[in-house]
Amino acid sequence: MSQAQIREVARTRTATTLMQVRAPEAGVILARNISRGLAHRRRSLELYRIADIGHVWVLADLHGAEANLVPLGAAARVRVEGHVLPARISTSCRCSMPPPAP
């Protein structure tokens, strides 16, 4: 509960069955572990998990020699749900897999 909500309960001396929960920061809800009408008694219960997705990692699989054509620092574009977002190649891992055992 926020301090304003605590003061309101103290002022009115009335407990409410519904409470507005405000996130401490802006972001995207990744998990919601409580719903309307669901009561909880545990203090440590995670009600919501919120993430700031201002910066995200995008993993891309490149085949063979294609990986050598993508230098670190190169500009890129990522298309997500119809939106084209600017990106930059910041890390690279050039790995090879041994052939499968016979």
What pLDDT is attached to residue 40?
A: 63
Residue 54 is predicted with a pLDDT of 79
Residue type, 34: I
Q: Give the pLDDT means over successive 10-residue stretches in the chain (102 positions).
A: 84 82 83 75 78 82 78 87 87 63 66
Where do the H-state alpha helices sit in the chain? 3-12
Q: What is the pLDDT of residue 81?
A: 85
Query: Rounded to an integer, what is the distance from CA 55 to the centroid of its chain?
Result: 10
Contact 18, 8 (CB under 8 A): no
| Whole-structure pTM value | 0.45
| Whole-angstrom distance, CA of residue 57 vs CA of residue 41 | 37
